Chains A and B, each alone.
Chain A
Amino acid sequence: MMAGWLAAFVLVVPILSAGATTLAQGAPRLQGWLSLLGSYVLLVVSVALLLVVLRDGMVVLQSGNWAAPFGITFAVDSLGAVMTVIAAITGAACLTFGLGEIGEAERRAWFHPLSHVLLLGVCGAFLTGDLFNLYVWFEVMLIASFGLMTVGGTKAQIDGAVKYVALNLVATLMFLLAVALIYGLTGTLNFADIARSVPTVSNVGLLTAAATLLMAAFGMKAAVFPLFFWLPAAYHTPLVSVSAVFAGLLTKVGVYALIRAFTLLFTHDPGWTHTLLLWIAGLTMVTGVLGAAAQTEMRRILSWHIISQIGYMVMGLALATPLGLIGSVFYLVHHIIVKANLFLIAGVAARLTGSMELKRIGGLYRSAPWLGVLFFIPAFSLAGFPPLSGFWAKLVLVRAALEIGSWWIAAAALVTGLLTIYSMTKIWAEAFWKPHPAGEAAARPLGEAPTVMLLPISALAAGTVVIGLFAQPFYVVAERAALELLDPASYIAAVLGGAK
């Protein structure tokens, strides 16, 4: 019972933060403190939830005391708990960074309440055990992200937001249509109940069609090939702290939903669904990294790399072996921390040099050498250098591919890793190594960036190093999450056990 309440608090805390920061809109300092407090309390609660899940197994919360499948169920397994912790870390880091970045105009555009609503949507999506409820959390997340995207209201933001909004509206309706089909076929929307009913559905063709529709909807959120075009058109336009949350979290919610759908719900036809996912994974990796090679703006380069990295996570899912899923979970954790950090570092670099555009900046190595160190850690972790976190994530995935003889996907993963190094060295050479085109004085020293911006960057970089050097405990958690994913029967038993 207490564990269920812990899961509830993961949702209650961001709601209270959103409400409190709305009420404190007229008091800037108070609002900032409330916002930070909310994000750190969320972090504490989610870590406690993870510890409970790791100790006692799945936490199931039947909200309103309505037994599944009649009420709305929240079911937290290891994967959900891990993702919630990572979401809370990203939220806390980016809100801390935001204190240094946002001005009065951005604050008046509801930056703080919207951020907490976004965290609410993300956490809700990770915890829920109900397909329609997942849709609702997706929309909560989406409407908050729409608002955050346009905080600031520059022309480029409006332009990026139009594309982001248009594509996401379509994805929303595809999701809803898939919900309709699945409800019509199985008569239920509870994850566990759907999983139990899927083998008894007689119209297998329509079921696979619904599954594919769901794959397209989640795939659009996750920005996989060929549905990723909205991402590089939009992610470089908002505030840095906003785009770091987006880069770290939003697409990963799509990946999480894909993992949930294709380990728990639709394992009836892996010959079609998982083969399709494997092709998508390979193409996503390669197109993403090639797209990045053509860019010269820091956040656009990083945006394209999000796409290529999504490919790795989907690859582990598509392999559907224990090792593959371990790789996916490990990659998710590693990627969210690294990618959010890279966006934050790009923000500091742009603040010190005046632009995100590589052609117009330089000289950071001379003026701010420590920023170079801070950039080096996540950048080379992203590329997969040992002993950083990305190395272990890639190693596990490539081994998983070789284990079942998928040589071509392993090759694609390795080539993508090499090309990632190319992009990272490009940022290094242009922003840090080359002298600033406007003269040496145009690159400012690191001391001019606010401390609240440097703290989260350092903390996330430290996290990357720790995951790299002490990978064993993280691997054990990922392994546990993967084994739970491959055992839908125990998920079903945990949720429906009371209902029989």
Chain B
Amino acid sequence: MSSLILRAGTRILAPTMLLFSVFLLWRGHNLPGGGFIGGLVATSAIALQGIAFGPASVRRTLVFPPATIAGAGVLIAALSALPAALAGLPFFTGLWLKLNLGDGAVLPLSTPLVFDIGVYLTVIGGVCALIAALEEEPALEDQDTGG
């Protein structure tokens, strides 16, 4: 599909959506938002780019294959459960590190945030893999009959 309006719109919309998805990821846990919904918003941005500029440009944007991103996300999410062991607390206990930035501003870093980043990546990787499989159907068919 090569619509000029869509392409021009996407150039503005996709980056905005990606930024918004990071905002949702960051704000999550104690407020509405989180890794899952952030990942979905990011994926919509990527899908929009795919519709406007084609699958090849999506592959360039993602750099890594979608499945690799999903795998890394799963690893990060699983690892976020482990620091609690060092603190002698049960599995998955949230640990918070509040960095004081001065002027009363506090930057809360936590294992739930790490978990959310893992979920964020898993959702992006997983859904992009799905979309890629549907978009590049002929290639998938060849692979399928090969087995």
Contact = CB atoms under 8 A, between A and B. Distances in A.
A1, A12, A22, A63: which has the most chain B beta carbons within 10 Å? A22
B132 interface: no
Interface stretch (B24-32, B45-53, B66-74): B66-74
Given A105-B143, A153-B145, A153-B147, A5 B67 contact: no
Interface stretch (A106-114, A322-330, A367-375): A106-114
Contacts of B85: 5
Interface in B36-81: 65, 67-68, 70-72, 74-75, 77-78, 81
Given A19-B78, A23-B71, A64 B147 contact: no
Interface string B77-94: 110011011001111111
A63 B143 CA distance: 41
B138 interface: no
Interface in B103-146: 143-146
Interface string A1-30: 100110110001001101111110100000
A64 B78 contact: no
Contacts of A12: 78, 81-82
Contacts of B72: 19, 23
Given A18-B74, A23-B72, A105 B146 contact: yes
B68 A22 contact: yes
B74 A64 contact: no
A16 B81 CA distance: 12
B68 A64 contact: no
A7 B77 CA distance: 18
Contact of B75 (A16, A74, A108): A16
Contact of B90 (A20, A21, A65): A65
A16, A21, A110: which has the most chain B beta carbons within 10 Å? A16
A95 B72 CA distance: 22
Contact of A23 (B68, B81, B84, B144): B68
Interface residues of A, number: 31
A140 to B, nearest CB: 12
Interface string A141-178: 00000000001111000000000000000000000000
Contacts of A5: 85, 90-91
Given A5-B85, A12-B78, A12-B81, A108 B143 contact: yes
Nearest to B146: A105
A295 interface: no
Nearest to A62: B90
B34 to A, nearest CB: 15
Main secondary structure of the interface of A (DSSP, over half): helix
A61 interface: yes
Interface residues of B, number: 26
B147 A61 contact: no
A113 B75 contact: no
A308 B58 CA distance: 52
A61, A65, A106, A109: which has the most chain B beta carbons within 10 Å? A65
Contacts of A15: 74, 77-78
Contacts of A61: 90-91
Contact of B71 (A4, A22, A74, A109): A22
A22 B74 contact: yes
Nearest to B118: A19
A151 B78 contact: no
B93 A64 contact: yes
B89 A65 contact: yes
A21 B90 CA distance: 27
A4 B143 contact: no
A442 B88 CA distance: 62
Counting from the closest, the 9 A-B pairs by CB-CB distance are A22-B71, A8-B91, A19-B75, A19-B74, A105-B147, A65-B93, A15-B78, A64-B92, A23-B71
Given A18-B74, A23-B71, A65-B84, 11 more contacts: A4-B90, A8-B90, A15-B77, A16-B78, A23-B68, A63-B91, A65-B89, A110-B67, A151-B147, A153-B145, A154-B147
Interface of B: 65, 67-68, 70-72, 74-75, 77-78, 81-82, 84-85, 88-94, 143-147
Interface of A: 1, 4-5, 7-8, 12, 15-16, 18-23, 25, 61-65, 74, 105-106, 108-110, 113, 151-154
14 contacts: A1-B90, A12-B78, A12-B81, A16-B75, A19-B72, A23-B71, A23-B75, A25-B65, A61-B91, A64-B94, A65-B89, A65-B90, A110-B67, A152-B147
